[in-house]
């Protein structure tokens, strides 16, 4: 019987390895940027086309490579970082496995240009399907350029599993931000389809965070810095008012390598406990410096999950560092034991309580009602009472005391305080309840209008009982179907603004907004790019109240990113759900009868009226027969 186990050809082995290392364009971006950092570059450019599907190019001014190194870097397990097994446990550089470029060359067409400072000419290498097609000298500046074209051109099944350009571009931007934030001393830029999304000059960590997340965070960052012999923690956290409903602005770095750690994230959340809502996430960019011997960074293919030898110490230290910083900057609540100067000037504090005043107060009737038994309801008799002529009220009306008032009586408008006599100006019809209704059978009628319960629910009577409607979930369903029809049939009406507004966004949000622009215009938004991550808003959907346009669009983007991360939906579905959730009437809003009736009418005109897009029930019905059973009337 023939042997059946054989060694795989190199190109197939590389493609299999690429499946672990290069899962999407962002994976290649991460590897190429990390290599540029390790090469000692001070200026790193990332160029992307079609979210990396067509082109990913990284150009740096690092040390460059010799001709032999340029060939060797595409071989599997080729690295300059490790010589012995001990080196693996003292890694401080980024890429070290020696699989990145080999994996990229296995699934893309690669062009490499590189030159070292001591050499006059550089080297150009072209590789396709792990095979070198061309190698020749070339003119090039000191440094390296690696262009990766047509990702997965030879693995069409993998290419088909890539998401939309918007989704893939978000991953590319995420990887770019993680590397750029870790190295504020380096200059980074990102150009997508010819448009510069990021241009980050060298500077401080705070400048880098503001450059990435937006100028609005400049005054909302709190510095964190604590040091011990075991580890150091430094960075910034956002003030409580920067917390958002969605993740995204949370960054942990260990020895300048971005990591994901639910355990340390929990430590941050505990530090912010009772300062932000339970369902919100604070902003933070925290850097931990620790001896590499205490960390195992090779526990995950992407090296984003690591293991500490003592996690409890890390947890306690991070939590304490953040609490200390928040307290230092007067973010946490404190007790103020100083008296208000206004209180100190009160007569009770400035004037002594003499014996004469004590005796005067102790003899007063007010004092006795509190100090003597059975005196709580004591009312002193007074000879000056203005009510001594109360019987005259009846005489004015032609009645004696004890008789009832007629329906039309002369009610005094006021009393003359000097004489105690009532002053009658005109007769009025007394609003006395006619008790005759008790003797008649009153026909019970259904309430003509719906009723709002705790500004969250709408109660409406129906023939068989009543229904209780969740106003937010119901309105979300109404808007969702309205926006679906707009995308499928005809665009929604736009309410033009009298004064167009120019608004700015962080580069990542601006890129996302550009990709959503066509659909947003169909849904009633009239906005267009104005350059440098700014947009001009000329109109909003006609059915939305006018207000802060920037806050409205920012909230929409946050909701869109939430759906992108939590649910696997196509872009249009995400957008429609985001707009419906963002624009639905919230719980806690007071509504008038007409507004409530409109929601009821529109809800039951929906194709699926019983559930919101999120799956929550829009209403619950209560049958009259069930109510009768509850009250033993059945």
Positions of the chain with pLDDT under 50: 82-83, 85, 94-97, 299-300, 333-344, 349, 402, 404-420, 422-446
- Domain membership flag for residue 189: yes
Residues 227 and 153 in one domain: no
Q: Which residue has the tokens 């001009």?
A: 536
Domain boundary, last residue among 281, 308, 328:
328
Closest C-alpha among 522, 535, 496 to residue 575: 522
Domain boundary, last residue among 328, 350, 384:
328
Residues 502 and 586 in one domain: yes
Q: What is the pLDDT of residue 302?
A: 53
Residues 212 and 122 in one domain: no
Residues 616 and 555 in one domain: yes
Residues 462 and 593 in one domain: yes
Residues 192 and 217 in one domain: no
Closest C-alpha among 504, 480, 495, 499 to residue 572: 480
87: DSSP letter: G
Residues 474 and 609 in one domain: yes
Residues 97 and 236 in one domain: no
Element (H, E) at 143: strand 143-149
- Domain membership flag for residue 391: no
Domain boundary, last residue among 200, 226, 258:
200
- Domain membership flag for residue 1: no
Residues 209 and 195 in one domain: no
Torsion of CA 490, 495, 499, 500, to 10 degrees: -30
Q: What is the pLDDT of residue 29?
A: 93
Residues 152 and 212 in one domain: no
Residues 119 and 255 in one domain: no
Q: Which domain holds residue 177?
A: 10-200
∠ at Cα 240 (239, 245), nearest 5°?
120
Q: How many domains does the chain have?
A: 3
Q: What is the pLDDT of residue 570?
A: 67
For position 598, which CATH number holds? 3.30.1370.100
Q: What is the pLDDT of residue 146?
A: 94
DSSP output for 244-290: BSS--SEEEEETTEEE--HHHHHHHHHHTTTTS-TT-B--EEEEEEE
Q: What percent of the chain has pLDDT over 90?
A: 27
For position 86, which CATH number holds? 3.30.565.10
Question: Are 55 and 29 a contacting pair, CB within 8 Å?
Answer: no
- Domain membership flag for residue 353: no
Question: Are 276 and 243 a contacting pair, CB within 8 Å?
Answer: yes
- Domain membership flag for residue 306: yes
DSSP output for 564-630: HHHS---HHHHHHHHHHHHHSPPTT----HHHHHHHHHHHTTSSS-SB-TTS-BSEEEEEHHHHHHH
Residues 196 and 73 in one domain: yes
**What is the number of alpha carbons within 13 Å of residue 522 lying toward its C-beta?**
16
Q: What is the pLDDT of residue 91?
A: 54
Question: Are 25 and 8 a contacting pair, CB within 8 Å?
Answer: no
- Domain membership flag for residue 230: yes
- Domain membership flag for residue 500: yes
- Domain membership flag for residue 422: no
């Amino acid at each position: 019987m023939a042997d059946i186990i054989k060694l795989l050809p190199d190109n197939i082995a590389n493609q299999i390895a690429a499946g672990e290392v290069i899962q999407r364009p962002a994976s290649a971006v991460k590897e190429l940027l990390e290599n540029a950092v390790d090469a000692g570059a001070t200026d790193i450019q990332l160029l992307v086309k079609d979210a990396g599907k067509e082109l990913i190019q990284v150009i740096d001014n690092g040390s460059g490579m010799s001709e032999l190194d340029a060939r060797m870097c595409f071989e599997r397990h080729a690295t300059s970082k490790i010589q012995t097994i001990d080196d693996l446990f003292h890694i401080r550089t980024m890429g070290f496995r020696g699989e990145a470029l080999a994996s990229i060359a296995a699934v893309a067409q690669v062009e490499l240009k590189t030159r070292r400072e001591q050499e006059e000419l550089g080297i150009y290498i072209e590789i396709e399907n792990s095979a070198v097609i061309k190698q020749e000298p070339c003119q090039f500046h000191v440094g390296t350029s690696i262009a990766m074209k047509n990702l997965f051109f030879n693995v069409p099944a993998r290419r088909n599993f890539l998401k939309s350009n918007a989704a893939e571009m978000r991953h590319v931007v995420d990887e770019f931000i993680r590397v750029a934030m870790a190295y504020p001393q380096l200059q980074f830029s990102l150009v997508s389809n010819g448009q510069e999304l990021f241009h980050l000059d060298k500077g401080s960590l705070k400048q880098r965070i503001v450059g990435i997340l937006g100028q609005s965070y400049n005054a909302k960052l709190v510095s964190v810095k604590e040091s011990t012999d075991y580890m150091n923690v430094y960075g910034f956290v956002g003030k409580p008012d920067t917390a958002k409903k969605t993740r995204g602005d949370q960054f942990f770095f260990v020895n300048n390598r971005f990591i994901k750690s639910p355990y340390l994230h929990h430590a941050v959340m505990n530090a912010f406990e009772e300062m932000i809502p339970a369902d919100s996430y604070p902003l933070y960019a925290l850097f931990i410096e620790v001896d590499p011997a205490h960390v195992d960074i090779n526990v995950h293919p992407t090296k984003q999950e690591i293991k500490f030898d003592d996690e409890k110490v890390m947890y306690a230290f991070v939590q304490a560092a953040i609490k200390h910083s928040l307290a230092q900057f007067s973010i946490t609540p404190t007790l103020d034991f100083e008296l208000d100067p206004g209180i100190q000037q009160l007569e009770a504090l400035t004037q002594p309580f003499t014996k004469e005043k004590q005796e005067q107060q102790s003899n007063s009737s007010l004092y006795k009602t509190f100090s003597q038994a059975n005196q709580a309801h004591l009312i002193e008799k007074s000879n000056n009472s203005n009510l001594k002529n109360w019987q005259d009220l009846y005489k004015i009306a032609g009645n004696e005391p004890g008789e009832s008032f007629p329906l039309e009586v002369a009610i005094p408008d006021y009393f003359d305080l000097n004489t105690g006599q009532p002053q009658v100006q005109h007769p009025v019809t007394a609003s006395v309840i006619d008790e005759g209704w008790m003797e008649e059978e009153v026909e019970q009628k259904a309430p003509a209008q719906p009723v709002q319960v705790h500004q969250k629910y709408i109660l409406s009577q129906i023939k068989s009982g009543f229904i209780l409607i969740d106003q937010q979930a119901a309105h979300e369903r109404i808007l969702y179907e309205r926006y679906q029809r707009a995308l499928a049939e005809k665009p929604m009406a736009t309410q033009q603004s009298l004064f167009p507004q120019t608004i700015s966004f962080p580069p990542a949000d601006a890129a996302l907004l550009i990709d959503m622009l066509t659909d947003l215009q169909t849904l009633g938004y009239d906005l267009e790019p104005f350059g440098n991550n700014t947009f001009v808003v000329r109109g909003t959907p006609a059915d939305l109240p006018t207000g802060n346009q920037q806050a409205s669009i920012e909230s929409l983007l946050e909701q869109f990113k939430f759906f992108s991360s939590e649910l696997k939906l196509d872009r249009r579905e995400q957008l429609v759900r985001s707009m419906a959730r963002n624009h639905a009437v919230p719980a806690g809003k007071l509504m008038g009868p007409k507004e409530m009736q409109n929601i009821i009418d529109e809800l039951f005109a929906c194709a699926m009226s019983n559930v919101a897009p999120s799956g929550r029930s829009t209403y619950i019905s209560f049958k009259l027969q069930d109510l009768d059973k509850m009250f033993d009337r059945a």
